[in-house]
Each structure stands twice: as structure tokens, then as C-alpha cells.
């Protein structure tokens, strides 16, 4: 789905309401006109000035405001898309029952736009038979449910019920307007950064959080693909509906990829894989008392997973590599990317600049996509969720 959309973001009253700010911001940065409808309970967690500053539009809460403009139905009628994030157990129950005792309920009932819910609640509430039945009802009506993820909840609780990453909400929301152009396809994605052990305590690693790879997995699943994610030490949660296989080192990733690659139609190697590993892994912790003032490590080269997969791929298979480079100017960045895609032999290479404050562990990305000939086939910038869909647009 392209073009400027009129998006309504409903915010209900849960602690995850703070994440709605990032959802709104990502939609605005993607060029959409965002209108926030917040419940009174939501405003006890996030203030109206914050939501108005981020959305760049007035925030609506009162069912009886703008009566002359019939605002209680006009907002929903004008919407191209409605996203409720977070969607609490209470709000989900009201939506399933068709209740309209507040502006959010009226907006949803008055709209024929796609509806996307990002549940957020404690595990017991998510697993309660009432919530299970409500979710089943909403899915049967065509409502998109994104998440929840498994992770840290309020206080010390951990389990299913955590609202998924805001980028994943945006990705799923925009995909609700997208044709299922990857239906029937199997997509293998790698994400995160590998770790090469020095001893039982320490490792050599990198700063990749896995955000872009997870965004690609979520986007592919939302477009109908069957997705397997090889997850290397991720710092972000993975929504339900994606097959996750955890790996640690480059060797682990190579072994898992070898087992999964033959099932895949599209292989996207977004993980940051260590080029080298220690020649010897110490059986016990290396101590400075015995190592002295200097510690010398011998490193040996890891197998080149992308090159191997590209060399052995089927004729009907697409292999996509990623390259994170630190070249300061665009010409040098492109030169590095063209050299790499030629060496690796992959169908496409997604190139982005990284540094101390860009590329890693940030919500946005700026990429150039090259084909095997080194020609630029796509440029994209914005949230990693929107970049993921731009990449998949090319592959689909």
C-alpha cells in the first residue's frame, strides 16, 4: 500500500500505552496523517500533549465533543486504517462485543477500514477463556492481531502478553492494506549478531540488535509467507506466528541455515555474522592474574555463509545479503557494496552505513539495494518496519 494514509491510532489504558508514542511516530515519519483517539484511562499513562506533539494533530477523547460535525462517526468514516495499540483485555472485550460507550468504540464501529490490534496484558489475562474467545471472534471477522510477544511484563512477571515492538505493529498495520503477495512462499530470515566464545564467560560479538531482521520476518509473515527466523542473540521480541530457531555463533548459524535453506523460496541474511572466531576456546575463565598485562588472541576465519548459500542456491531461489559498512561518503559506500555483491554472488545486497550512532540498535534505517550486477534497484529510509516492506516489495 502506497501513498498518504489517514490512520487512526486508538490508545487504551495499559502500561504499554507509552509504546503507542513510537507507533504514532513511525506512522508519521512514513508520511501518513495520524489521528489519535485515546481513552480516558490511556491519558492516565500518556499525556495528551505528548500524543498531540508526536501525531501533529489534536487528540480526541470525548464522545460528546464536535457533535455538530458528528465527530463520533466522522473519524472512523474517514479512516483508511485503524490501529489500537495497546489493546487491553478490556478494550478487546468491548470491541468484540461491539460496545460504543466511548469515542474509540464509536470510531471502530463507524469504520469499514482494516482494524489492527496489538494486545498487551498479563499472561493470565491473555490466556483467560474470555480473552481467547474474544480474540477468536475478532480474527473470524478479519481483524489483524499482532502479537503479543513473550517477555518481561509489569513488575517481575514474564510471559506471553507483552506488546510487540512498535515497528512490528506498524509493519503489520501497513500489511493489512497489502495484498498477500508472499502467500504460499517460504522465507528464511537470519537476524541479530553472532557471538564467538573466548571462554565460558566472554565472547567476541557485535552491536546488532536484530531489529531489521525481525522486521523483515514480521513483514514477510504479514504478507502471507511461512517464515523461519534464525535468531542470533536478539535484543527484540519475536511475535507469535514465526518459527524461531535460536543460534549463538557463526558455526551455529551455518549449521541451522544448511538444515533450513532447502525449504526456502527466499533467503534473507540480515544477521551480522562474525568474520573471525578464537582459534582456541578456554575451558575456564581467562584471569588477568595469569594472563598478565597483555592478552594475545589468535583468530581464525569463519566460513562465509552467504557465499556458500549463494553458490549452492536453486535456480528458483532468491538469496539476499546485508552489508553494514562504515564508509563516510556515498560513493565509497556503493563501491564497497558492489565489490561485496560480486564476491558473495547473492541475487541482491542491502547496503547500509553503520557507526557509533547509526545503524545499530536504532528504530530507523537508510538502505540501498543492489542487484548482482551492482545496479541500484531500490533506496529506502524510515522505520525498519517500512524499510522491510520496501525490500519485500522488490522481492515479491
Tell me, yes or no, if 262 is annotated catalytic.
no
Q: How far is it, in rounded angstroms, from Cα 150 to Cα 210? A: 16
- Provide the pLDDT for residue 1: 46
pLDDT tens, N- to C-terminus, the chain (396 residues): 446 788 999 999 989 999 999 999 999 988 899 999 999 999 999 999 999 999 999 998 887 776 656 667 889 888 889 999 999 999 999 999 999 999 999 999 999 889 999 999 988 999 999 999 999 999 999 899 998 988 777 777 777 888 998 988 988 888 787 667 898 999 999 999 999 999 999 999 998 999 999 999 988 998 889 999 999 999 888 887 899 999 999 999 999 999 999 999 999 999 999 999 999 999 999 998 888 899 999 999 999 999 999 999 999 999 999 999 998 889 999 999 999 999 999 999 999 988 776 667 677 888 999 999 999 999 988 888 888 988 998 998
One fold for 6-175 and 186-395: yes
Taking the domains of the chain in order of start, what are their residue ranges? 6-175, 186-395
- Report the sign of the C-alpha dihedral through residues 180, 182, 187, 193, in that order: negative
Residue 142, SS3? coil
Q: Using alpha carbons only, what angle is made at residue 245 by residues 244 and 250, rounded to the nearest 5 degrees?
A: 135
Q: Was domain 186-395 assigned CATH 3.40.50.10300?
A: yes
Q: How far is it, in rounded angstroms, from Cα 335 to Cα 81? A: 41
Which candidate in 134, 206, 302, 352 is catalytic?
Answer: 206
Residue 340's nearest CA partner among 375, 372, 305, 298 is 372
69, three cell numbers: 460535525
Q: How far is CA 280 from CA 200, 253, 295, 298, 300, in A?
A: 12, 19, 13, 8, 9
Nearest 5°: phi and psi at 18?
A: -65, -30
Q: CATH classification of 6-175, choosing from 3.40.50.300, 3.40.309.10, 3.40.50.1820, 3.40.50.1950?
A: 3.40.50.1950
- Provide the pLDDT for residue 328: 84
Q: How far is it, in rounded angstroms, from Cα 245 to Cα 275? A: 21
- Provide the pLDDT for residue 2: 46
Residue 65: half-sphere exposure toward Cβ, Cα within 13 Å: 10
Terminal-residue alpha carbon distance, the chain: 13
- Provide the pLDDT for residue 359: 64
- Provide the pLDDT for residue 67: 62
Helices (H), the chain: 17-29, 48-55, 71-78, 89-97, 103-109, 123-127, 129-140, 166-175, 211-222, 250-260, 288-291, 305-312, 330-344, 384-395
Nearest 5°: phi and psi at 90?
A: -65, -45
pTM for this prediction: 0.66
- For strands 364-371 and 348-353, give the pairing: antiparallel
Amino acid at each position: 500500500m502506497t501513498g498518504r494514509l489517514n490512520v487512526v491510532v486508538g490508545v487504551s489504558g495499559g502500561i504499554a500505552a507509552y509504546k503507542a508514542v513510537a507507533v504514532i511516530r513511525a506512522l508519521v515519519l512514513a508520511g501518513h496523517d495520524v489521528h489519535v483517539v485515546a481513552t480516558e484511562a490511556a491519558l492516565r499513562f500518556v499525556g495528551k500533549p505528548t500524543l498531540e506533539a508526536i501525531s501533529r494533530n489534536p487528540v480526541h477523547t470525548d464522545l460528546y465533543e464536535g457533535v455538530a460535525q458528528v465527530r463520533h462517526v466522522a473519524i472512523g468514516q474517514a479512516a483508511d486504517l485503524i490501529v489500537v495499540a495497546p489493546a487491553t483485555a478490556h478494550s478487546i472485550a468491548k470491541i468484540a462485543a461491539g460496545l460504543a460507550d466511548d469515542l474509540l468504540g464509536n470510531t471502530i464501529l463507524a469504520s469499514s477500514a482494516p482494524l489492527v490490534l496489538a494486545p498487551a496484558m498479563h499472561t493470565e489475562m491473555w490466556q483467560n477463556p474470555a480473552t481467547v474467545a474474544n480474540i477468536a471472534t475478532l480474527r473470524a471477522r478479519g481483524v489483524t492481531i499482532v502479537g503479543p510477544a513473550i517477555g518481561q511484563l509489569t513488575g517481575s512477571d514474564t510471559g506471553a502478553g507483552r506488546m510487540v515492538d512498535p515497528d512490528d505493529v506498524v509493519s503489520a498495520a501497513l500489511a493489512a492494506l497489502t495484498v498477500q503477495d508472499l502467500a504460499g512462499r517460504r522465507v528464511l530470515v537470519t537476524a541479530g549478531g553472532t557471538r564467538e566464545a573466548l571462554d565460558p564467560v566472554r565472547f567476541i560479538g557485535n552491536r546488532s540488535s536484530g531489529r531489521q531482521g525481525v522486521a523483515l520476518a514480521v513483514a514477510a509473515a504479514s504478507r502471507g509467507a511461512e517464515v523461519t527466523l534464525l535468531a542470533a542473540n536478539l535484543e527484540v521480541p519475536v511475535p507469535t506466528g514465526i518459527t524461531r530457531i535460536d543460534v549463538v555463533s557463526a558455526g551455529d548459524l551455518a549449521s541451522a541455515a544448511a538444515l533450513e535453506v532447502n525449504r526456502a523460496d527466499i533467503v534473507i541474511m540480515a544477521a551480522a555474522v562474525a568474520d573471525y572466531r578464537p582459534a582456541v576456546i578456554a575451558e575456564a575463565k581467562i584471569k588477568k592474574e595469569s594472563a598478565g598485562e597483555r592478552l594475545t588472541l589468535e583468530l581464525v576465519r569463519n566460513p562465509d555463509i552467504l557465499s556458500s548459500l549463494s553458490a549452492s542456491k536453486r535456480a528458483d531461489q532468491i538469496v539476499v545479503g546485508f552489508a553494514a559498512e562504515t564508509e563516510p561518503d556515498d560513493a565509497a559506500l556503493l563501491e564497497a557494496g558492489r565489490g561485496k555483491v560480486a564476491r558473495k554472488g547473492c541475487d541482491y545486497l542491502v547496503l547500509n552505513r553503520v557507526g557509533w550512532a547509526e545503524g545499530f540498535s536504532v528504530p530507523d534505517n537508510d538502505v540501498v539495494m543492489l542487484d548482482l550486477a551492482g545496479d541500484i534497484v531500490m533506496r529506502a529510509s524510515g522505520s525498519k518496519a517500512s524499510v522491510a516492506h520496501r525490500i519485500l516489495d522488490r522481492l515479491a
